[in-house]
A and B are shown apart, each in its own frame.
Chain A
Amino acid sequence: MLIVLVKSAVLLLVVITTFAYAMLFERKILGWMQLRPGPNRVGPWGLLQPAADAAKLILKEDLTPKTADPLIYRLAPFISLLTAFAVYAIVPFGANGDGSPWAIGDVNAGILFLMAISSIGVYGISLGGWASGSKFPLLGAVRGTAQMISYELSMSLSFVGVLMLAGTTSLTGIVNAQERMWFLIPQALGFIIYVITAVAETNRTPFDLVEAETELVGGFHTEYSGLRFGSFFIAEYVNMLTVSCIATLLFMGGWNAPFGLTMLPGVAWFVLKVGAFMFFYMWLRATLPRFRYDRLMTFGWKVLLPIATLNLVATAAWVALH
C-alpha cells in the first residue's frame, strides 16, 4: 500500500514536470518554426518559464459567471485533471529483468482501462462548457462531445488490430510481443489512424475545434480563469503525453531497444520514443491550420472509420490464416 502511494507521488511529480517542460518546449519549437526565439526571458534559455506561468495562474482572479451552474462549473476542471492523471496508474515505463513492469498497477486489461478513462475525460470538457452558461463555451462543448465520440471509434478500432496481433490486452504483454518487430510495421495503417485520432482526442491543432480561438474565443474554457483554466491546460498536455505513451507502447515497441541497440536502458528508449511523438505533435501544430467542422466530421466518419474497419478485417484475416 505504502509503496503504491510513494510510486504514485513520484509519478505525479514526474508527469507534472514533464507537462511543464513540454509546454516550454512546445513554445520554443513553435517559435523556431516561425523564426522567433521563443520564450527566453525567464531564467537561462527560458527554463524558469513554467514556474513563472504557474505563479501567474495561481495569482489570477478566479471568476465564476453569474449564469454558471456553480457546482458543475467548479467540478469540470477536476474531472479533466483526474482522468488525465488516472491513466498513469497502469502505464508501464519499463521492465525489470524478470519481466515485471515498472508501473503502479499491472492490469491485465490495461488497454480497456485506458479507453474507459479517456472516454470519461470528455465529461470535463462538455460539462465545463455547458455549466459556464455562456454561448461560446456551449458551442465548444457540443463540438468536443461530437468530435471525441466520432474519433474515439476509429481509435478503438486501431487498437483492436494491435490487440489481435499481440493476443493480449495487457500493456506489458503488448510491449513484450513487439520484441522482434514493432507493430508499427504490420499495423502501419492502424498507426496512421491512431496518430490522426490521437490529435483529435486531445483537441489539438489541426483538430482543436473545441477551443478554436478564432471562432469560439476559447471554446469550453472561455469563462475559466486562474487555476481552473490551468487545470484544463494541464489536462490537455498530460493527455498529449498519455497518447504519446500509448503510441509508444502499442506501436513503437515500448521500452524495447530498436535494432538491438541495448546500450541504453529500456526506460531511456521509452522516454526517447515518447519525446519523438510529442515533438511530432508540436510540429503538426506549427504546420497545419484548423479543419472546418463539417470536414472534420466527414473525415472522421467517411474516411477514417471505413479505413479503420478495413484494417481491422484485414488484420483479423491475417491472424486467422496464420
Chain B
Amino acid sequence: MRKHLFNVGAILQGLGITFKYMFVRRPTIEYPSIKKQHAPRFHGLHELRRYADGKERCIGCELCSSACPANAITVIGAENAPDARVSPGERHAASYEIDELRCIFCGLCEEACPTDAIVLTPRFEMADYRRGAFVYSKDRLLVPSDAGVGTPPDERPNGIPADLGRVAEVKSTMNVDRGYSATHRGEVLKTERKGLAG
C-alpha cells in the first residue's frame, strides 16, 4: 500500500512537469517561413567573384580542382583574347563546373584559390528534383555583372543573405555578438565564442 501511495506522488509530479512545460518557450524554428541564423563562416553554395571593373577573378589555374577532395570541380582554362579580356591575367576559365552533389562543402577550394575567386556563400537551399540540376556551371556560379563583386571570404556577412527570408530571433541559436550559446531546457548555459565571430 505504501508503494502505491508513492506511485500516486510520482503521477502528480509528472502531471506538474507536463503542465509546466505548456508554458515553456518552445525552441521550434518554423523553418521554411523562418530561418535559423547561421554561423558566420557557414559553408554553403559556391560563388565566383569579379573585380570591381567587372572582370572575372578566376584565372583558370585549376588549383581548386586539384585541392578538391571530392573531385567535384572541373575547370577548363583558356587563353584570354587580347581585345576581349575575361579576366585580367593571361588565362581565364572557359568552363567552370561544380557538382554540388559531390561537394562536401569543406572550403578547400576557397583556400586554394590564389585570386580569391571561388568563395562559399551562406546559401544552402539547393534542393531540386533533377540530378542534373546540381551541376552548377558558370552561369549560376558567377556573380551577375550588375550585382557587384561578390563577397570577400573574410568579410562574409553573418547568417543568411537578406533575399532568403526572415531570420529567427531565437535565443538558443547562434548569436553573432555573443558567439554560440549552449542551451538546455530553454536556458542558456554558457556562451562560447568560436571562429572569427564578433
> Interface on A for B, CB 8 Å cutoff?
29, 32-37, 40, 283-284, 286-288, 303
Do residues B28 and A303 form an inter-chain contact, with CB atoms below 8 A?
no
User: Whole-angstrom distance from the CB of B171 to the nearest CB of chain A?
Assistant: 14
Residue of B4, B11, B26 touching A287 (CB-CB under 8 A) = B11
Contact A288 B14 (CB under 8 A): yes
Q: Which of B18, B27, B28, B30 sits near A286, CB closer than 8 Å?
A: B18
3 smallest beta-carbon distances between A and B, as pairs? A32-B22, A287-B18, A33-B18
Q: CB distance B4 to A32 under 8 Å?
A: no
Place the interface of chain B in its size category. 10 to 19
Q: Complex Cα distance A288/B14, Å?
A: 8
C-alpha gap A36/B21 in the complex (Å): 10
Chain A: minimal CB distance from B21 (Å): 5
B19 within 8 A of A: yes
Q: What CA separation (Å) do A35 and B14 show in the bound complex?
A: 15
Given A40-B30, A286-B18, 13 new contacts (CB under 8 A):
A29-B22, A32-B21, A34-B21, A35-B21, A35-B26, A35-B27, A36-B28, A37-B30, A283-B18, A287-B14, A287-B15, A288-B11, A288-B14
Count CB-based A-B contacts (< 8 Å). 34
- Residues of A contacting B28 in the complex (Cβ-Cβ under 8 angstroms): 35-37
> How far is A34 from B22 in the complex, measured between Cα atoms in Å?
8
Q: Are A33 and B4 in contact (CB under 8 A)?
A: no
Closest to A31 in B: B26
- Interface on B for A, CB 8 Å cutoff? 4, 11, 14-15, 17-19, 21-22, 24, 26-28, 30, 186
Closest A residue by C-beta to B21: A33
Taking CB as reference atom, which chain A residue is nearest B17? Answer: A287
Establish whether residues A303 and B4, one from each chain, have CB atoms under 8 Å apart when the complex forms: yes
Q: Which residues of B contact A36 (CB under 8 A)?
A: 26, 28
Give A216 Cβ to nearest chain B Cβ, in Å: 24
30 residue pairs of the A-B complex, CB under 8 angstroms, read: A29-B22, A32-B21, A32-B26, A33-B18, A33-B21, A33-B22, A34-B21, A35-B21, A35-B24, A35-B26, A35-B27, A35-B28, A35-B186, A36-B28, A37-B26, A37-B28, A37-B30, A40-B30, A283-B15, A283-B18, A283-B19, A284-B15, A286-B18, A287-B11, A287-B14, A287-B15, A287-B17, A287-B18, A288-B11, A288-B14
